[in-house]
């Protein structure tokens, strides 16, 4: 009887130790983006707007916008493409963005503030998602306007800083600061994609995400190529 009691005590002690060592998985933060909690608006990524953009290298900017668009497509995020004065001034949307959404005609506007075009806001309302991600040329005009307007209407705004640009670094930086002070959250395009993936065990989007990173992710993408080639390695292994 004493032996049985001793065994029971040992088992109870071990169980308690094991239970105390298990940490329950935490819930992701409510401020994080998921494929089903936001929409994306790509604003005025057009030649005439790019010509005067000096806050970022244009080659890098085009790369980042393409990566952002592809990420949204992979995760089936509702995406609005919009241009300003396409036929009379600014020209067509970047071809690499249109190629991601070949069947989607950008909404062409006259207003510099996208949010003042009801075709845009009607779509945002139709999607019924309280988070809105925005990238725009130029940051200080066509980015600030919809960001501040959406915030005033109760939306949570995320601004993709490296898929946007201003006429100078100062113009871009001050505009980003203004949006942040109003409540917007600055993010980058690669951060956006990896936040949506978030777990390499999600095999449904794994290959598409790593393919985008290889093509548009700079040194990180090159590292993926190297690891696969040299060691047959992959994220999550």
Cite the active site residues: 142
Of the candidates 43, 97, 102, which has an alpha carbon nearest to the alpha carbon of residue 70? 97
CA dihedral 189, 148, 104, 88 (to 10 degrees): -110
- Widest pairwise Cα distance in the chain: 94
Calculate Rg over the CA atoms of the chain. 23
- d(CA 32, CA 17) in angstroms, rounded, equals 34
- d(CA 139, CA 137) in angstroms, rounded, equals 5
Of the candidates 59, 113, 103, 108, which has an alpha carbon nearest to the alpha carbon of residue 88? 108
Distance between terminal CA atoms of the chain?
49
DSSP-assigned states of every residue in 171-221: HHHHHHHHHHHHT-EEE-HHHHHHHHH--TT-HHHHHHHHHHHHHHSHHHH
Place of tokens 């601004």: 159
């Amino acid at each position: 009887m004493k032996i049985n009691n001793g065994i029971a005590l040992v088992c109870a002690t071990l169980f308690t130790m094991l239970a105390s060592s298990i940490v329950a998985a935490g819930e992701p933060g409510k401020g994080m983006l998921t494929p089903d909690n936001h929409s994306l608006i790509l604003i005025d990524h057009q030649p005439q707007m790019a010509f005067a953009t000096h806050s970022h290298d244009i080659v890098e900017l085009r790369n980042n916008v393409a990566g952002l668009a592809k990420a949204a497509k992979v995760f089936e995020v509702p995406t609005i493409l919009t241009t300003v004065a396409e036929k009379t001034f600014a020209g067509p949307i970047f071809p690499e963005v249109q190629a991601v959404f070949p069947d989607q005609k950008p909404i062409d506007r006259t207003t510099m503030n996208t949010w003042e075009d009801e075709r845009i806001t009607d779509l945002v309302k139709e999607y019924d998602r309280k988070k809105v991600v925005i990238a725009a040329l130029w940051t200080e005009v066509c980015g600030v306007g919809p960001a501040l307007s959406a915030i005033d209407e109760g939306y949570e705004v995320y601004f993709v800083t490296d898929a946007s640009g201003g006429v100078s670094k100062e113009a871009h930086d001050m505009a980003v600061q203004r949006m942040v002070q109003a409540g917007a959250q600055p993010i980058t395009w690669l951060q956006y994609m990896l936040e949506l993936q978030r777990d390499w065990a999600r095999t449904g989007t794994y290959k598409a995400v790593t393919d985008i990173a290889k093509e548009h992710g700079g040194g990180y993408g090159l590292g993926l190529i190297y690891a696969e080639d040299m060691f047959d390695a992959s994220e999550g292994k």
